[in-house]
Amino acid sequence: MKFNNLVLTSMFRGKKVMRLFDENGFDYLPGESVIVPENEEMRIDFPEATFENPTQCLALAIDREKIKETVDLLNEKFAKTEKNEVWQIDLETFHIKNSLEISSTIDRLVNVSRENNKAKDLFADFTLNELLIRLMQTQARCLIFDNYHKYQGNNRFAYIIHYIKEHLTEKLSIDKLSDLACMSKPNFFRQFKKEFGLTPIDYINQERLYFAKKILADPRQSIADACFKAGFNNLNYFFILFKKQEGITPNTFKRNILEHTNA
């Protein structure tokens, strides 16, 4: 399969094995997206698909002028913090796990396409702009959050991510982080959210919850242990954040871990 435009594909159901760039195939699962450059051949296998259990995937071909329009607008009006960096679709970070924002934007774009509305094209254009921006923010998170060691010498946010990870269980204030980034507090908060699609506090909480889950997997550790050792100082707040991110309470998460371990 080959398209004349860049294609954003997103898996909804089932499993594919995708082959791109003449490389070995990789598993392509629900909740993930793959960006395919224009005129790049996709070779796809469906190892588990049946009539009763079909594979479902969306492929959205995006005109290069639409991409250029969105990228140019971002670079003109919302420039990145580092002078040597620009907004762009990163074709090296082509296989990503969808953020909640990407998933919900794709859902809205599909729903708009099914509407019988005179303003349908306008709504679709707005939603596509949002999708491209969400995509670039997600790629920025993959690049900086996952490879901060590589970039911390020339990217202040990579340095901040390194600092957060090194001091995760300690008190972390936005005042301290903005000072380390050599930025005012409002500008640091605003630029961080603009580039990555979430606030510094959101990121710290995500990392602490990830660490708390590791602690909860240890049967010798209590829920209170996980809360305070991960850097939270309020058990009720920990419960609220955990339920919001994981969809279940810490109690249920720990019980599921124990049941799986004893099975």
| pLDDT, tens digit (0-9, with 9 covering 90-100), for 29-84 | 999 999 999 999 999 999 988 988 899 999 999 999 999 999 999 999 999 999 98
Low-confidence ranges of the chain (pLDDT < 50): none
3-state SS track over the chain = CCCCCEEEEEEEECCEEEECCCCCCEEECCCEEEEECCCCCCEEECCCCCCCCCCEEEEEEECHHHHHHHHHHHHHHCCCCCCCCCCCCCCCCCEEECCHHHHHHHHHHHHHHHCCCCCHHHHHHHHHHHHHHHHHHHHHHHHHHHCHHHHCCCCHHHHHHHHHHHCCCCCCCHHHHHHHCCCCHHHHHHHHHHHHCCCHHHHHHHHHHHHHHHHHCCCCCCHHHHHHHCCCCCHHHHHHHHHHHHCCCHHHHHHHHHHHHHC
| Per-residue pLDDT reduced to its tens digit, 163-178 | 999 999 999 999 999 9
pLDDT for the residue 263: 57
pLDDT of residue 122: 92
Dihedral of the alpha carbons of 221, 224, 226, 229, in degrees to the nearest 10: -110
What pLDDT shows up at residue 51?
87
